[in-house]
């Protein structure tokens, strides 16, 4: 169960009436506009990405939309993750009339979603490159399937977003991370995840110091039982690449660590400035910014293709994707370029 409370100044260009029905997969969003965009939520990625992108843009642009078949490509309905809710909320309140506070409750370390550590260490510093800053206070961690986490976000509005240019990754300078356990799970699981991840990474990167800390989450800061790991690679140009995994019943801890390490190495090999999970999360900001944004990524995920499709449909921003191939390594990367619409805050 997810509880979202948003406190923000009135959006003069849109009237927000949002109803999410987890069981019926049906959504209505009403805004001040004449045209109605009917959107099949089951196409392309077929999950919550369509709902997140379209809801935020509908709110900002005053476009009236009707989405049906929400998360038709998923086994269960609902948004669940606090981090995913943050993705849809932040663009909306950036263009509010006054500072906003988001109180997000649900899972912070959940399956099929970024971990809160990823949101804080990767997502946050990159989207702040668009010309704004916000605070994110992690009050309580919540684990799958119970949730129970809480995050509070405070953010001030901006007049306009600035474009970003992230095309040069540079060299890897540092690899670090955290392997955690919470609740009744034994601390040795954290050590096993961390050790396995370090061994896996050092097979390819012997010259880089790898520091993965084992952490027992405080009982007053974590709700429920859970374990997982997240590993970050920092570069000489300020890029941050990540890999992560969550523990599951019946899966050995060392396999969880290896899964996270292999994900990190996969994202390092393609030479992009963003990993496979960040690339789709920045699309909406690129579409809203004034001017041309350019970002180098690995192969485009279906999530990214979906975000681009609906961002172009609702904003009329123009995206182009140019493929780059490294003949020596055989890896594929892309330059995602967008001429943003230069969304203006009407309150400034």
Burial status of residue 220 (CB atoms within 10 A of its CB: 0-12, 13-18, 19 or more): exposed
Q: How far apart are the C-alpha atoms of 324 and 335, rounded to whole Å?
A: 7
Burial status of residue 50 (CB atoms within 10 A of its CB: 0-12, 13-18, 19 or more): buried
Which single residue is written with the structure tokens 């999970």? Answer: 277
Q: How far apart are the C-alpha atoms of 166 and 335, rounded to whole Å?
A: 9
Cβ–Cβ < 8 Å for 36, 66: yes
Residues 6+ apart with CB under 8 A from 259: 245
The reply, when asked if residue 115 is annotated as ligand binding, is: no
The reply, when asked if residue 281 is annotated as ligand binding, is: yes
The reply, when asked if residue 277 is annotated as ligand binding, is: yes
Phi then psi for 24, rounded to 5 degrees? -95, -10
> Cis ω on the peptide bond leading into residue 39 (within 30° of 0)?
no
CA angle at residue 122 from 118 to 124, to 5 degrees? 100
Q: Which of 281, 320, 333, 314 is nearest to 84 (CA)?
A: 281
Catalytic residues: 303
The reply, when asked if residue 280 is annotated as ligand binding, is: yes
Question: Which tokens in the block code for residue 158?
Answer: 């901006």
The reply, when asked if residue 213 is annotated as ligand binding, is: no
User: What residues form the annotated binding site?
Assistant: 87, 277-281
User: What residues form the annotated binding site for ATP?
Assistant: 87, 277-281
């Amino acid at each position: 169960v997810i509880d979202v409370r948003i406190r923000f100044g009135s959006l003069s260009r849109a009237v927000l009436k949002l109803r999410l029905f987890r069981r019926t997969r049906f959504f209505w969003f009403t805004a001040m506009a004449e045209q109605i965009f009917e959107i099949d939520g089951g196409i392309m990625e077929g999950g919550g990405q369509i709902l997140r992108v379209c809801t935020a843009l509908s709110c900002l642009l005053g476009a009236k939309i009707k989405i049906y078949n929400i998360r038709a490509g998923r086994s269960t309905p609902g948004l669940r993750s606090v981090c995913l809710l943050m993705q849809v909320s932040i663009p909306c309140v950036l263009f509010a009339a006054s500072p906003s506070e988001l109180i997000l409750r649900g899972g912070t370390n959940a399956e099929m979603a970024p971990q809160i550590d990823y949101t804080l260490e990767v997502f946050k510093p990159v989207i702040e490159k668009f010309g704004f800053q916000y605070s994110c206070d992690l009050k309580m961690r919540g684990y799958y399937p119970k949730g129970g986490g809480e995050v509070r976000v405070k953010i001030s509005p901006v007049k306009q977003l600035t474009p970003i240019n992230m095309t040069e990754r540079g060299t890897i300078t540092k690899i670090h991370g955290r392997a955690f356990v919470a609740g009744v799970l034994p601390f040795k699981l954290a050590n096993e995840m961390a050790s396995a991840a370090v061994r896996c990474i050092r097979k390819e990167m012997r010259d880089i110091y790898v520091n993965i800390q084992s952490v027992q989450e405080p009982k007053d800061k974590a709700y429920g039982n859970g374990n997982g790991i997240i590993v970050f690679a920092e570069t000489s140009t300020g890029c941050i690449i990540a890999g992560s995994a969550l523990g599951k019943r019946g899966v050995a801890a060392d396999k969880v660590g290896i899964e996270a390490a292999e994900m990190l190495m996969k994202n390092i090999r393609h030479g992009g400035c963003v990993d496979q999970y960040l690339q789709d999360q920045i699309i909406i900001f690129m579409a809203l910014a004034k001017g041309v944004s350019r970002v180098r990524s690995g192969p485009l995920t279906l999530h990214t293709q979906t975000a681009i499709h609906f961002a172009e449909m609702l904003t009329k921003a123009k995206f182009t994707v140019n493929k780059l191939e490294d003949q020596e390594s055989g890896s594929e990367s892309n330059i995602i370029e967008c001429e943003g619409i230069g969304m203006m805050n009407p309150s400034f």
